[in-house]
């Protein structure tokens, strides 16, 4: 018997749609059909519809969401539109694949959760690194065998996306036929989110805005991965903001041993064409590292390195594990399919993603401790 195909409606026809999601959907054509698309750029919509043979195009997100034949709505817009479109799709009882971050403020995330509670639809958040087979089958199991964790670090220092996109073989096109009001609408939505992220009449400085946007881009990937691997931090010891580079130290307690340890986080963007995204966890007799390459070039290996003490000789044993050549986006889409069709659990759901926004808030408070965070002054 033929498998059911999920009909996907995409809100957003920009780079991430053209380079990542539409090619991935095409490779999984036995599971998905790219069925409808919309964007504020009519030219981008027509380009994607022709290139990827998408049968239906819509002038607005609301019109796409109202299509009764769409099973899953992919929200691939900029961050400030995530909450509105997610809530609208849930109100129509649609399932949602939402690119990270879910939003930029905790209050808007709570509104999204409230909408999901009333809906027959479910939200799947696109933290693809957490679906990489080397992470799920190797890294997590190796970390779980550590009786104590002594230290960990998370790093994500990358060069310009354009360098990787230009070598991805996807040949994306950029368009500029945006409505005259688009820029002002975007700024208004962002301002409202910044006011919620930095409440009680704080001065919303450029430094705060840049940190917030950065955490939503690279940071949400890193912190989400950190949470699944070693849990939620106790506190933040310190933060350094030197845009576009940021660093932080998290305080942790290992749940099994009660041992205190710290996690260093360093991230930034420069002009060097490399992608250095990794996480390492150090125990007493073993260290485990997972390294990610750019997701824009398909099927680059994601390897886990295990270095440990040989219990017999006292020497060093080092092994590299590649659990699968299947890329993280493909694995993610397989999990999404099972969630929608079979009712499988979604580990990267809205409630899970809210914890990343809580870490964002911890980082803001550590970076600007003198601000009136709780409205008590």
Same domain assignment for residues 145 and 238: yes
Strands 95-99 and 123-126, bridge-based pairing: parallel
Q: Cα 37 vs. chain centroid, distance in angstroms?
A: 21
Domain around 80: 6-129+331-350
Burial of 259 per CB tally in 10 Å (0-12, 13-18, 19+)? middle
Among 349, 126, 132, 278, CA closest to 217? 126
**Residue 191 counted as domain residue:** no
- Residue 14 domain-assigned (yes or no): yes
- Regarding whether 161 and 62 lie in a shared domain, the answer is no
Same domain, 19 and 152: no
Closest CA to 239 of 217, 216, 207, 276: 207
Please give the Cα distance from 258 to 240 (Å, whole number).
28
Q: Please check whether residue 63 lies inside any domain of the structure.
A: yes
317/214 same-domain check: yes
Answer yes or no: do 336 and 268 share one domain: no
Going edge to edge, which strands form the sheet with 6-11? 56-58, 32-38, 6-11, 72-75, 95-99, 123-126
> Is 35 part of a structural domain of the chain?
yes
Q: What is the pLDDT of residue 237?
A: 98
Q: How far is CA 185 from the centre of its chain?
A: 24
Is 187 contained in some domain? no
Query: Are β-strands 303-309 and 316-321 bridged in parallel, bridged antiparallel, or unpaired?
Result: antiparallel
Residue of 188, 122, 22, 174 whose CA lies nearest to 348: 122
**What is the CA 252 to chain-centroid distance, rounded?**
23
108 in the same domain as 223: no
Flag whether 335 is in a domain.
yes
pLDDT at 89 over 80: yes
Q: What is the spatial distance between Cα 35 and Cα 15, in angstroms, rounded to a whole number?
A: 18
Sheet holding 303-309, edge to edge: 235-242, 245-253, 260-269, 151-158, 275-282, 286-292, 303-309, 316-321
CATH number at residue 154: 3.30.360.10
Same domain, yes or no, for 148 and 290?
yes
DSSP 201: T
Same domain, yes or no, for 17 and 43? yes
The answer for residues whose C-beta is within 8 angstroms of residue 261's C-beta and 6 or more apart is: 149, 150, 151, 152, 252, 253, 254
- Residue 187: burial class (beta carbons within 10 Å; 0-12, 13-18, 19+): exposed
If asked whether residues 122 and 224 sit together in one domain, one would say no
pLDDT in tens, 190-204: 999 999 999 999 999
How many domains does the chain contain in total?
2
H or E segment and range at residue 76? none
| pLDDT tens digits along 227-279 | 999 999 999 999 999 999 999 999 999 988 899 999 999 999 999 999 999 99
Confidence of residue 2 (pLDDT cuts 50, 70, 90): low
* Same domain (yes/no): 57, 119: yes
CATH number, domain containing residue 26: 3.40.50.720
Could you give the CA distance from residue 232 to residue 94 in angstroms, rounded to a whole number?
A: 30
Instruction: Check whether 1 has a pLDDT greater than 60.
Output: no
160 and 269 belong to one structural domain: yes
Read off the tokens for 9.
Answer: 């409606």
Query: Has residue 103 been placed in a domain?
Result: yes
pLDDT of residue 29: 97
| Residues ≥6 apart with Cβ < 8 Å to 16 | 76, 99
Task: For residue 102, tell me if it sits in a domain.
Answer: yes
In whole angstroms, how far apart are CA 40 and each of 7, 111, 149, 172, 215?
21, 24, 48, 17, 25
- Torsion region of 90: left, alpha or beta (phi above 0 gives left; psi -120 to 50 gives alpha): alpha
Q: Which pLDDT band, with edges at 50, 70 and 90, does 103 fall under?
A: very high
Q: Are residues 311 and 336 in the same domain?
A: no
Query: Is the pLDDT reported for residue 375 higher than 90?
Result: no
Specify the pTM.
0.96
Predicted local confidence at residue 33, as pLDDT: 98
Distance CA 173, CA 43 (A): 10
pLDDT at 377: 60
Percent of the chain exceeding pLDDT 70 equals: 99
């Amino acid at each position: 018997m033929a498998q059911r195909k999920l009909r996907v409606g995409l809100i957003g026809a920009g780079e991430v749609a053209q380079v990542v999601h539409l090619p991935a959907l095409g490779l999984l054509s036995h599971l998905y059909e790219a069925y409808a698309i919309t964007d504020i750029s009519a030219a981008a919509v027509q380009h994607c519809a022709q290139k990827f043979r998408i049968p239906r195009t819509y002038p607005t997100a609301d019109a796409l969401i109202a299509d009764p034949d769409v099973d899953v709505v992919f929200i691939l817009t900029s961050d400030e539109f995530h909450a509105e479109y997610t809530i609208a799709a849930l109100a129509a009882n649609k399932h949602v694949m939402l690119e990270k971050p879910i939003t930029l403020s905790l209050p808007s995330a709570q509104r999204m959760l409230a909408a999901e509670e009333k809906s027959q639809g479910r939200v799947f958040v696109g933290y693809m690194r957490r679906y990489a087979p080397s992470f799920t089958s190797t890294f997590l199991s190796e970390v779980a065998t550590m009786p104590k964790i002594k230290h960990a670090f998370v790093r994500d220092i990358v060069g310009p996306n354009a360098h990787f996109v230009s070598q991805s073989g996807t040949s994306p096109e950029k368009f500029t036929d945006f409505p005259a009001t688009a820029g002002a609408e975007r700024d208004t939505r962002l301002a409202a989110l910044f006011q919620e992220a930095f409440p009680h009449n704080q001065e919303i400085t450029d430094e705060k805005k840049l940190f917030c946007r950065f955490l939503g881009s690279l940071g949400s990937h890193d912190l989400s991965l950190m949470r699944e691997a070693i849990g939620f931090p106790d506190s933040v010891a310190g933060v350094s903001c030197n845009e576009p580079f940021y660093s932080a130290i998290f305080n942790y307690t290992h749940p099994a041993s009660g041992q205190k340890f710290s996690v260093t986080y360093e991230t930034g963007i420069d002009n060097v064409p490399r992608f250095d995204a990794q996480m390492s966890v150090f125990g007493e007799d073993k260290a485990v590292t997972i390294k990610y390459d750019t997701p824009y070039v398909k099927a680059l290996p994601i390897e886990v390195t295990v270095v440990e003490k040989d219990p017999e000789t006292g020497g060093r044993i080092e092994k590299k594990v590649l659990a699968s050549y299947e890329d993280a986006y493909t694995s993610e889409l397989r999990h999404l399919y099972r969630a929608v069709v079979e009712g499988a659990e979604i580990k990267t759901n809205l409630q899970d993603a809210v914890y990343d926004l809580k870490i964002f808030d911890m980082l803001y408070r550590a970076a600007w401790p003198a601000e009136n965070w709780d409205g008590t002054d």
